[in-house]
C-alpha cells in the first residue's frame, strides 16, 4: 500500500499510549491498531480529524504517500 501511517511517530512525540489515544479519540484500541499498522482500507474524516485534534497535528503528520517503485517505472514498448 503506498500510503504509510505514522501514528506511532506522533504517539512517541506526545508520550501517549495507544490505549489513551483510542479512548480520547473514541475508537477501540483494536481499530486504532489496524489503522496504526497500515492494515486499514479506509479512514473516516471524522476519525482523522479526532486523531489530529488529540495529537495536535495535521493529517500530513499522520499519513504520507510512498510510491511503489516497481509500478512507477515507465512502461517500455517492445516493438
Asked whether the beta carbons of 21 and 55 are under 8 A apart, the reply is yes
Q: What is the structure's pLDDT at 74? A: 55
Q: What is the structure's pLDDT at 78? A: 60
Between 21 and 78, residue with greater pLDDT: 21
Q: Answer yes or no: is pLDDT of 71 > 80.
A: no
pTM: 0.82
Overall average pLDDT of the 30-40 stretch: 94
Q: What is the structure's pLDDT at 63? A: 96
Amino acid at each position: 500500500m503506498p500510503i504509510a501511517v505514522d501514528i506511532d511517530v506522533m504517539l512517541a512525540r506526545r508520550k501517549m499510549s495507544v490505549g489513551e489515544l483510542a479512548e480520547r479519540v473514541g475508537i477501540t484500541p483494536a481499530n486504532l491498531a489496524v489503522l496504526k499498522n497500515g492494515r486499514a482500507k479506509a479512514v473516516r474524516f471524522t476519525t482523522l480529524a479526532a486523531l489530529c485534534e488529540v495529537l495536535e497535528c495535521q493529517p500530513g503528520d499522520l499519513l504520507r504517500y510512498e510510491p511503489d517503485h516497481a509500478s512507477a517505472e515507465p512502461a517500455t514498448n517492445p516493438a
